[in-house]
Structure 1
Amino acid sequence: MYTPPHYKEERPEALQAFIHQHSFGLLISPGPQGMEATHLPFLLEVDGAGPGRLLAHLSRANPQWKHLEEAGEVLTVFSGPHAYISASWYTERTDVPTWNYVAVHAYGRARRVDGERLHGMLARMAQRYEATSAVPWSLGEVPEASLQAMTKGIVGIEIELTRLQGTRKLSQNRSAEDQQRVLQALRERGSPDDLALAALMERPS
């Protein structure tokens, strides 16, 4: 991912926190017919100082899983808020418009997860995503026969991450006055992404 130095995010804890917050990603890998891509919820697990590992599962009917282990490096893209930035917001209208956004690219090697490891992965994913529910559901509520039937229709994957790349394009290259004008304009326009970007611009990097 091309990232100019003033937009680059390299802090591992910030990149991992972003994935935790924006965990619905796009898995991209090469296949026999060309590039393949699937939108998936992921669970990031971190042990020690490394970038961690991503856990997910695909439908068995999705052919992408068949080529993941032999694909070498695969890419997962996590996207955050993004918005059009009008040149009319700047002090000099002769400048050009742009797009502000936040994103993380996660690279690694994938392998299949089967059997008890798959059940454990599904239980941890459910626990993670049910954490905000008033009455959390757990995998243990599913009868064993139904669980066995369900897992036959999916393929678990684990991606051992080798590197993370992050971009925070939040008008850092603009003057302090232009940054305040962009911030105010985003608030006034007021879409969810506009407000999320404004909050990020105000937050210390």
Structure 2
Amino acid sequence: MYTPPHYKEERPEVLQALIHQHSFGLLISSGPHGVEATHVPFLLEVEGPGPGRLLAHLSRANPQWRHLEEAGEVLAIFSGPHAYISASWYTERTDVPTWNYVAVHASGRARVMEGDRLRSLLDRMSRRYEQTSAAPWSLEDVPEASLQAMTKGIVGIEIDITRLQGTQKLSQNRSAEDQQRVIHELKARGSQDDLALAALMEHPSRPR
């Protein structure tokens, strides 16, 4: 991922936090007919000082999983808040508009998982994504026969992350006055992404 030095984010804890918060990613790999890509929710697990591993599952009908182990390096892309930045917000209106955004690229090798490991993955993912529900759903709510039928229709994958790359483009190349003007205008426009970017500009060490 091309990233100018002033936008580059290299702190592992920040990149991992961004993945946790924006975990619906894009899995990209090479296949026999070219590039393959699937939008899929991920679970990031970190044990120790390493970058961690990504867990997900694909429909068995999706041909991408059949080529993952032979694909070499695969890429998972995670997009955080993003927003258009008008040049009218700058002190000098002769400058040009741009786009502020946050993104993380995670690269690694993928392995397929089935059987008991797949069921364990489903349990961990459901616990992760149900934790904010008032009445969390659980695998235990599903009759065994239905659960077996469900797991036959999907394939789990795990990716040991070998490289994390991050960009937080937050007007770092602008003057302090321009940055404050951008923050003000983002708050005034007020979309969810606008407010998240404004918060990141005010507190860049705190992922949103």
Which of the five TM-score ranges fits, normalised by the shorter chain? Answer: over 0.9
Once the two structures are TM-superposed, the CA of residue 203 in structure 1 deviates from its matched residue by 1.1
Q: For residues 8-23 of structure 1, what are the structure 2 equivalents within 5 Å?
A: 8-23=8-23
Cα RMSD after superposing both structures: 0.7
CA distance in 1, matches of 2:161, 2:139: 27
1:195 aligns to 2:195 (yes or no) = yes
Q: For residues 5-84 of structure 1, what are the structure 2 equivalents within 5 Å?
A: 5-84=5-84
Q: Secondary structure at the match of 1:2?
A: coil
CA distance in 1, matches of 2:51, 2:191: 33
Once the two structures are TM-superposed, the CA of residue 190 in structure 1 deviates from its matched residue by 1.3
CA distance in 2, matches of 1:52, 1:19: 11
Once the two structures are TM-superposed, the CA of residue 187 in structure 1 deviates from its matched residue by 1.1
Q: Secondary structure at the match of 2:197?
A: helix
Once the two structures are TM-superposed, the CA of residue 177 in structure 1 deviates from its matched residue by 0.2
> Per-residue displacement from partner, 1:103-125 (whole Å, max 9, x unpaired)?
00000000001111100010000
CA distance in 1, matches of 2:204, 2:70: 41
CA distance in 2, matches of 1:22, 1:192: 13
Name the aligned partner's letter for residue 172 of structure 1: Q
Matched with 1:144 is 144
> Per-residue displacement from partner, 1:60-95 (whole Å, max 9, x unpaired)?
111000100000000000000101111111001111
CA distance in 2, matches of 1:131, 1:193: 23
CA distance in 2, matches of 1:117, 1:181: 51
Matched with 1:167 is 167
Q: How many residues align?
A: 205
Gaps of 5+ in 1: none
Deviates more, 1:193-202 or 1:71-80: 193-202
Name the aligned partner's letter for residue 193 of structure 1: D
Name the aligned partner's letter for residue 110 of structure 1: A
Task: Label 1:193 to 1:204 Cα distance change in 2 as closer, same or farther (>3 A).
Answer: closer
1:121 aligns to 2:130 (yes or no) = no
Matched with 2:156 is 156
Gaps of 5+ in 2: none
Q: Runs ≥4 in structure 1, deviation > 2 angstroms?
A: none
CA distance in 1, matches of 2:150, 2:24: 21
Once the two structures are TM-superposed, the CA of residue 204 in structure 1 deviates from its matched residue by 3.9
Deviates more, 1:32-41 or 1:191-200: 191-200
Name the aligned partner's letter for residue 44 of structure 2: L
Q: Secondary structure at the match of 2:65?
A: helix
Matched with 2:178 is 178
CA distance in 1, matches of 2:142, 2:110: 28
Q: What TM-score comes out, normalization by structure 1 length?
A: 0.98
